[in-house]
Amino acid sequence: MPLPEDERAAIEDAISRAERKTSGEIVAVMTRVSSRYYGIGLMWAALVALTVPLPLILFTNWPVEHIYIIQLAVFALGVALLQWEPLRFAVVPKSVKHARAHECAVKEFLAHRHTGPARREFARFATLSR
């Protein structure tokens, strides 16, 4: 992911200054998103759709076929709405966002590590999405 040259230089300078104060190497990794969370959006759409039949069964005399079609429509609408990334990111619990970011950070750190003799490495991970 390309950064403007001035931002890249500022980051490199900050890392160099910090590395002079420690015996370890600092590895900075940036990514646009840690996860797209498609499964979470699908889960929310399914949970909302599962709540639809009970009130309709209790408070209406509609045939079960109509209730089933309404349930399918609610699910389809939920899936369609949650394709919009800002809404999908809004319904993801913070704990899931943190867990996915940690998983991505560890994966990226291990993929890009530069092991040297007796050097400790520290990772700094940044996700640019919400």
pLDDT-based confidence at residue 116 (cuts at 50, 70, 90) = low
Q: Are 130 and 86 in contact (CB under 8 A)?
A: yes
- Cα(11)–Cα(16) distance, rounded to whole angstroms? 9
pLDDT-based confidence at residue 49 (cuts at 50, 70, 90) = very high
pLDDT digits (tens, 9 = 90+) for 10-42: 888 888 888 888 877 777 777 777 788 899 999
Q: Catalogue the long-range contacts made by 94-97 (C-beta closer than 8 Å, 24 or more residues apart).
A: 96/37, 96/40, 97/34
pLDDT at 129 over 80: no
pLDDT-based confidence at residue 113 (cuts at 50, 70, 90) = low
Q: What is the pTM of this model?
A: 0.68
Query: What is the CA 123 to chain-centroid distance, rounded?
Result: 19
Report the DSSP beta bridge partners of residue 26. 122
CA torsion angle 110 113 115 119 (round to 10): -100
